[in-house]
Amino acid sequence: MTDAPVIRTMTRGDLDLALSWAEAEGWNPGLDDAAAFRAADPNGFLAADVDGIPAASLSIVRFGDDTAFLGLYICRAEYRGRGVGFALWQHGMAHLAPRTTGLDGVPAQQANYARAGFAMAHGNVRYSGAITPMGPDLTLAPERAHIDAAVTLDRAVTGFDRADFLRNWMCGDPSRISRVLIRDGALAGLGVLRACASGWKIGPLFATDRAVAEATLDGLAHQAGGGRISLDVPDPNEDAVALARDRGLVPEFETARMWRGPAPAQDLSRTFGLTTFELG
């Protein structure tokens, strides 16, 4: 390395490149994650260049003035151990991170995040496999009123406001399929299925109870056509863990939801599947 890394805001092309690094790392991103991510906060994605070459990536996407979520922290293998990733981290935390910042950290990095001031809130487990629907598809494609209700539900469940992101996540691209389940005229279940480099991911999967979560999961399984799916389940929701296991999904790996600053008031009882490790 002949120069210190130059840190800058990513272009759309840079974000596509970073997601290709994520795919190479085995993170299996969605086919059109970049557009939805940028809709959330186009200034929240940073690249570190070394001698004019992109060497590392980091996102700290802000949701309003008080809350952000950190992800896509990747340094290309040939630049590791040279301070590039750490320089990018320091810059991002100093210039982008607000009072409260969250992340989903793999076990190998959790001690490093703790030293940076992040405290563990709960564990998550990714469950994967093929699901055969147990009954008819009771879900609906969301209409305008359903999307507005979904934004309200998301705010209540996550504890922060990410309306712009969620609207794009639900409706921004045909590679993502949204379904809602209505009970007694109200939104009871919400799920988004997204096509990935390999198979499908479901996230979010929000529901008032296990029965609603299972019916919503079945609706998404109908859309997946028997393909392999992954669901990121928070450990404290015992009904969600039981649902994943009872439907034949098997654990793949673990992460920890960690927060620096006051943690939002999450409602994990309604969280049967996290939205995405990159944006919470």
- The 10s digit of each residue's pLDDT in 141-158 is 999 999 999 999 999 999
What 3-state DSSP class applies to 142?
Answer: coil
Q: Is the pLDDT of residue 213 over 70?
A: yes
How much is the pLDDT for 172? 86
Report how far residue 110's alpha carbon sits from residue 237's, in angstroms, rounded to the nearest whole number: 21
Residue (of 97, 14, 11, 110) closest to 55 by Cα position: 14
- Domain ranges across the chain: 6-102, 125-273
Name the pTM for this structure: 0.95
How much is the pLDDT for 216? 98
Element (H, E) at 146: helix 144-158
How much is the pLDDT for 116? 95
Percentage above 90 pLDDT, the chain: 95
Domains 6-102 and 125-273 share a fold: yes
User: Each residue of 228-262: pLDDT tens digit?
Assistant: 999 999 999 999 999 999 999 999 999 999 999 99
Q: Is the pLDDT of residue 104 over 60?
A: yes
Report how far residue 262's alpha carbon sits from residue 135's, in angstroms, rounded to the nearest whole number: 42
- The answer to whether 49 touches 55, Cβ cutoff 8 Å, is yes
Cβ neighbours around 8 below 10 Å, total:
14
- The answer to whether 205 touches 213, Cβ cutoff 8 Å, is yes
CATH top-level class of 6-102? alpha beta
User: Each residue of 120-145: pLDDT tens digit?
Assistant: 999 999 999 999 999 899 999 999 99
Q: Is the pLDDT of residue 2 over 70?
A: no
Region of poorest pLDDT, from 5-9, 38-42, 204-208: 38-42
Report how far residue 123's alpha carbon sits from residue 168's, in angstroms, rounded to the nearest whole number: 27
Percentage above 70 pLDDT, the chain: 99
Q: Is the pLDDT of residue 270 over 50?
A: yes
CATH 3.40.630.90 holds for 125-273: yes
State whether the Cα torsion 72-77-79-83 is positive or negative: positive
For residue 1, name the pLDDT band (cuts at 50, 70, 90): very low
Q: Is the pLDDT of residue 205 over 60?
A: yes
